[in-house]
């Protein structure tokens, strides 16, 4: 009887549904105050930048040169605040993964769900849903706010214009993908401060470092970095110019590869390492 019972218990531990695991991850994510504060910070910063841009540019329009008038991109201007959103969502992505390592609760999670790749996958799925909704709300909200405030003589954009809807939707999609990339870094590094440093370094510091190299070396690398990919995705004017950057959707696909690679490596390391 003792042998049968001890054999049955481990087997029973493996009888869990993916939906139940995702439900548990959702409870953990929404019950932490940092999640709400992080999302609130994203809204304040992104919409704040959109309001400032829409309010200031009409008054300065007469100071712009003819070239600045010709190359003015009202869509890109409205989405400038998404850069701060990209930073903040990265912090949230790191915390979703690394917080359990910091508190030690990851041991309880692994005891309840021995399938470690499943843990990473469900965390990523729940986070992706939340971040995608947040990204689209931020992107469309910032766009409409700025366009509403842009008065004549400053030009403004509508979603019906070529490339505008792609830029607004794409700007919102960059948010969850970068968040997943940060989550992958956290699953590899397993330390909040270290993962945030690696994420910010990749997003902001690495482009500055690469830019110091000769252009023959720096340009092919810079166009493949997350910051320039995000910038290209939210650009409408001259968005399809060839040369120094990838096309918007090609760059976005490459960014998805970065995020997937980080998550796969993190899941593999989680299997190999102790909690």
Instruction: List, for residues 56-106, the tens digit of each pLDDT value.
Output: 888 888 888 888 888 889 999 999 999 999 999 999 999 988 888 777 777
The predicted model gives 125-140 an average pLDDT of 96
pLDDT for 11 equals 39
Q: Percent of the chain having pLDDT more than 90?
A: 55
pLDDT for 230 equals 92
Distances (CA, A) of 80 to 73, 222, 233, 239: 11, 19, 12, 16
The predicted model gives 193-199 an average pLDDT of 95
Q: Is residue 14 part of a domain?
A: no
**DSSP for residue 62:** G
**119 is in which domain, residue-wise?**
37-272
Query: Which stretch of 2-6, 234-238, 250-254 has the lowest confidence by average pLDDT?
Result: 2-6
The predicted model gives 133-158 an average pLDDT of 91
- Beta carbons of 202 and 226 less than 8 angstroms apart: yes
Query: Is residue 184 left, alpha or beta, with left meaning phi > 0 and alpha meaning psi from -120 to 50?
Result: alpha
Q: Is residue 12 part of a domain?
A: no
Structurally, how many domains does the chain consist of? 1
Q: Is residue 66 part of a domain?
A: yes
Q: Is residue 162 part of a domain?
A: yes
Please give the Cα distance from 190 to 92 (Å, whole number): 14
Backbone angles phi, psi at 129, to 5 degrees: -65, -50
Question: What is the CA 60 to chain-centroid distance, rounded?
Answer: 32
- Beta carbons of 129 and 29 less than 8 angstroms apart: no
Mean pLDDT of the chain: 86
pLDDT digits (tens, 9 = 90+) for 9-30: 443 445 567 778 888 888 888 8
Q: Is residue 1 part of a domain?
A: no
Other C-beta atoms closer than 10 Å to the C-beta of 175 total 28
The predicted model gives 151-157 an average pLDDT of 81
Q: Is residue 11 part of a domain?
A: no
Distances (CA, A) of 260 to 86, 184, 263: 17, 8, 5
Q: Is residue 146 part of a domain?
A: yes
Q: How confident is the model at residue 240 (pLDDT cuts 50, 70, 90)?
A: low
Q: How confident is the model at residue 194 (pLDDT cuts 50, 70, 90)?
A: very high
Please give the Cα distance from 112 to 6 (Å, whole number): 16
Q: Is residue 4 part of a domain?
A: no
* Structural tokens at position 132: 């995608």
Confidence (pTM)? 0.87
* Structural tokens at position 58: 């009409």
């Amino acid at each position: 009887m003792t042998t049968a019972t001890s054999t049955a218990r481990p087997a029973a531990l493996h009888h869990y549904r993916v939906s139940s695991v995702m439900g548990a991850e959702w409870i953990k994510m929404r019950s932490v105050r940092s999640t709400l504060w992080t999302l609130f910070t994203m809204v304040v910063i992104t919409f704040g930048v959109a309001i400032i841009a829409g309010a200031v540019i009409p008054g300065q329009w007469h100071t712009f040169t003819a070239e600045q008038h010709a190359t003015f991109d009202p869509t890109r201007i409205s989405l400038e605040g998404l850069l701060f959103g990209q930073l903040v969502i990265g912090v949230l992505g790191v915390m979703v993964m690394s917080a359990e390592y910091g508190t030690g609760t990851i041991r309880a999670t692994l005891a309840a769900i021995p399938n470690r790749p499943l843990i990473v996958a469900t965390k990523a799925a729940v986070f992706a849903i939340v971040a995608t909704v947040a990204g689209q709300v931020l992107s469309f909200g910032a766009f409409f706010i700025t366009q509403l405030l842009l008065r004549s003589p400053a030009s403004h954009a509508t979603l019906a214009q070529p490339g505008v809807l792609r830029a607004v939707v794409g700007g919102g999609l960059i948010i969850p993908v970068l968040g997943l990339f940060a989550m992958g870094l956290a699953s590899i590094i397993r330390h909040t401060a270290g993962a945030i440093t690696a994420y910010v370094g990749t997003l902001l510091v690495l482009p500055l470092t690469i830019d110091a190299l000769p252009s023959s070396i720096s340009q092919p690398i810079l166009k493949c970095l997350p910051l320039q990919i995000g910038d290209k995705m939210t650009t409408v004017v001259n968005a399809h110019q060839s040369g120094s950057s990838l096309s918007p959707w090609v760059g976005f696909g490459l960014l998805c590869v970065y995020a997937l690679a980080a998550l796969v490596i993190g899941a593999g390391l989680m299997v190999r390492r102790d909690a």
